[in-house]
Structure 1
Amino acid sequence: MLARLALAFISFVSTFSLSMSSETDYLRFDQNDLPRLTEAGASHLASLALHCIGREYPNKIGHVMESDADQAPPRELHPAFYGCYDWHSSVHGHWMLIRLLKEFPELPEADKIRAAISQNLQPHKIQGEVDYMTPRTRKSFQRTYGWTWLLKLAEELKTWEDPQAREWATALQPLVDHIEALYIEFLPKQTYPIRTGVHPNTAFGLSFAWDYAHTLNRTELKAAIEEAALRYYSNDKNCPAHYEPSGSDFLSACLEEANLMQRILSPEKFADWYSEFLPQLPQILEEPATVTDRMDGQLVHLDGLNLSRAWCLAAIAQKLPPDSPHKKHLRQVAATHIQVTLPNIASGGYEGEHWLASFAVYALSVAGR
């Protein structure tokens, strides 16, 4: 079965050359035929994030102003995360660079990565981010998409035995503490989940936050997430996946929900829940979404949808029992989505390049488990 998964990737390895030579392979396959980025692939994806985390413009800020005094350029509003077009993309660009540096410590860009992150993850800059988010009018800033990526960044740092990473984690901690507190305060108030396919999606917002809480034994946060997830989703059946996708989705409402529940439930309970939630994967979720214009910041979201579908499908397949009739098929569909999308990560348009590499790295990390 794993060999079949690998075959789905091999057909595009030679085409995933992007700006480098056509002979360069960006993926390799381990002894279990699972896909892994090569150093060349990691180097190219890292270059995309390095290009944007210090790039202030163009910039889309979600800024609530209370007076003329609140007018300021992005670098002053967000001293640490001002680049990559928007706050959350800057955060997950930092996450991706750290993830790649952990896996490839001899990456050619290693010194540049360390310098760029050290410049941004400074205690006074992180305090500036906390100060920005503290006023009552900004308590919903980046809720919960940016929140969950920030916790994913913290998890990546805190699970790395590297002296510089420990410094960065210490600097980041006040913002981590602030976002933990925001989650714990907010979740009991959120009566209904948000089931959209873009940033506010509740299931996605809880998934990475649960990973952080589980990995670092943050018991209060983990309990709050599990209570909310069960309250929102435990009785869901027959998810209307045939309504997906909307025209600018980068998340699948149905698959993100299932991906959260595979974290929360035991394997046996999840298998029962999933059999009623998605008894059969609809054709619309099997076919990678079509992107007609990668210079359009909304239409290019659909490349991200393909990658996020892939990580959900791969994770769901991992949680299902070995005899599940869905397991093999979900892995194959996940592989197809990555196969179709990876060659488009570097499209020449900043609209996609400022964020899609992070999605690709995470999708490959799940598919390669």
Structure 2
Amino acid sequence: MRRIAIGSLLGLLLVACSPEADDATEARKFPAPRADSQTDRFALLALDCVHREYPNKISHVLESDADALPPSQLTPAFYGCFDWHSSVHGHWLLARLARTDPDTPMREAILAALDRSLTEENIAGELRYYTNGDRASFERPYGVAWFLQLVAELDESDDPQMKRWRENLRPLENSIVANMMNWLPNLAYPIRVGTHNQSAFAFGLMLDYARQVGSTELEPLLVAKSLEFHEGDRDCPIGYEPSGEDFLSPCLMEADLMRRVMPSDRFAEWLSGFLPDIPTDGSADWLEPGIVRDPTDGKLVHLDGVNLSRAWAMEGILSALPPEDPRRAALQASADRHREVGIAAISAENYEGSHWLGSFATYLTTKRGISEHTASGPGNQS
């Protein structure tokens, strides 16, 4: 991948690609970020990429010459940010910040970007792509889980514009949920990797979606499958992590999933068997952050993401532990350390990381995975 310098985030001028102009570049001006605002910095990363068509890595099976089309014609809503899933969670980032940071100077630009993408026509095009041919496994489970998270974000809003976008997404949402309902019973084993195919991370996002929208079919299926896969797990080898291209921790993401499906006391007991070596002395050095030696390498830069996702997983685990649990201090100390390292690495200089790391940082800093209906398991819900 070529290195793309988009300049300092304090600059006003960002360059993006316009499919309407046959991939000619168009200049975009966004407001200056607030000097002390991380969220403005993350918003600029997403605003720069959601309509940037190239470079692009598509996961696309050609069935004939007619399928050889530019990304914006294949998936007209989610063609930017280098790949489909990054485009989806780039849009989620924008919706999340519009909801949680209403005073951001980026608000008008955010709403305009979402309005440009999430049209009824564009989503109809996405649905045609998703349902044409044998694409039931397209972006499964990572990308479709992020899509459902985008739906949940819009569903949670009372803003009429966001409600309209949420309704526009419904046809694709229904098709994705139907595919997940077919896939989950056939999934015989968990997918224990640190990259896109990991099942634990996707299950967590899909569970949060199912609870937000009140799905009486998807939620119990996900809970049952999570318990089937992981209730008996013990002694997760976290010392073997991270692998060289991980952006998700297999051990910590599994624990972050299980706190969603167990009552607090049961989860605390399960965690003792699953990660028995979490210190009780408040130390932070029991889990070392991942190291990135070349931020221009699109695979190696995954380790910046593992630091951010580890931090939110540990905070998720903390949210479900009893207040007196002696492991809390060490979990918080390590989460803080991973957060500091992960956020410090986010830069607009290298598109290899800038097209997706802002979403991970936003998920962490806005505590998206921690809420009353996700933090303590179904047994403790009101």
Alignment pair present for 1:177 and 2:178: no
Question: In the alignment, what sits opposite 1:164?
Answer: 161
Question: In the alignment, what sits opposite 1:315?
Answer: 316
Which SS does the other structure have where 1:315 is aligned?
Answer: helix
Question: In the alignment, what sits opposite 2:216?
Answer: 219
* 1:226 positional shift: 0.6
Map Cα deviations across residues 45-88 of structure 1 (whole Å, 9 max, x no partner): 10110000000000000001111111100000100000000000
Question: In the alignment, what sits opposite 1:298?
Answer: 299
Question: In the alignment, what sits opposite 2:357?
Answer: 356
Deviates further, 39-48 or 158-167: 39-48
TM-score (ref. length: structure 1): 0.88
1:51-200 alignment to 2 at 5 Å?
51-200=48-197
| Letter paired with 2:216 | T
Distance 1:334-1:38 versus aligned 2 partners, 3 A rule: farther
Residues 244 and 284 in structure 1, CA contact (< 8 A), matched pair in contact too = no
Residues 155 and 212 in structure 2, CA contact (< 8 A), matched pair in contact too = no
Query: Which whole-Å CA distance do the structure 2 matches of 1:366 and 1:117 have between them?
Result: 22
Query: Which whole-Å CA distance do the structure 2 matches of 1:313 and 1:213 have between them?
Result: 22
Distance 1:92-1:159 versus aligned 2 partners, 3 A rule: same
Query: Which whole-Å CA distance do the structure 1 matches of 2:228 and 2:44 have between them?
Result: 42
| Letter paired with 1:296 | D
Query: Which whole-Å CA distance do the structure 2 matches of 1:295 and 1:272 have between them?
Result: 42
Deviates further, 108-117 or 274-283: 274-283
Question: In the alignment, what sits opposite 2:336?
Answer: 335
Alignment pair present for 1:324 and 2:325: yes
* 1:285 positional shift: 6.2
Deviates further, 102-111 or 225-234: 102-111
Query: Which whole-Å CA distance do the structure 2 matches of 1:171 and 1:276 have between them?
Result: 45
* 1:281 positional shift: 3.3
Query: Which whole-Å CA distance do the structure 1 matches of 2:187 and 2:196 have between them?
Result: 16
Determine which of 47, 63, 72 is the counterpart of 1:50: 47
Residues 77 and 126 in structure 2, CA contact (< 8 A), matched pair in contact too = yes
Deviates further, 55-64 or 207-216: 207-216
* 1:136 positional shift: 4.7
* 1:124 positional shift: 1.4
TM-score (ref. length: structure 2): 0.85
- RMSD of the TM alignment (CA)? 1.9
Question: In the alignment, what sits opposite 2:289?
Answer: 288
| Letter paired with 1:118 | D
* 1:284 positional shift: 8.3
Runs ≥4 residues deviating over 6 A? 282-285
Question: In the alignment, what sits opposite 2:379?
Answer: none
Unmatched tracts of structure 1, length 5 or more: 1-17, 22-36
Map Cα deviations across residues 259-303 of structure 1 (whole Å, 9 max, x no partner): 000001111111111110001139986111111011110010000
Percent sequence identity is 46
* 1:250 positional shift: 0.0
* 1:38 positional shift: 8.8
Unmatched tracts of structure 2, length 5 or more: 1-7, 12-33, 372-382
Map Cα deviations across residues 225-259 of structure 1 (whole Å, 9 max, x no partner): 01110111111000111111110000000001000
Which SS does the other structure have where 1:82 is aligned?
Answer: coil
Which SS does the other structure have where 1:219 is aligned?
Answer: coil
Distance 1:19-1:81 versus aligned 2 partners, 3 A rule: closer
* 1:366 positional shift: 2.4
May I ask how many residue pairs the two structures share in their alignment?
337
Residues 300 and 352 in structure 1, CA contact (< 8 A), matched pair in contact too = yes
* 1:112 positional shift: 1.2
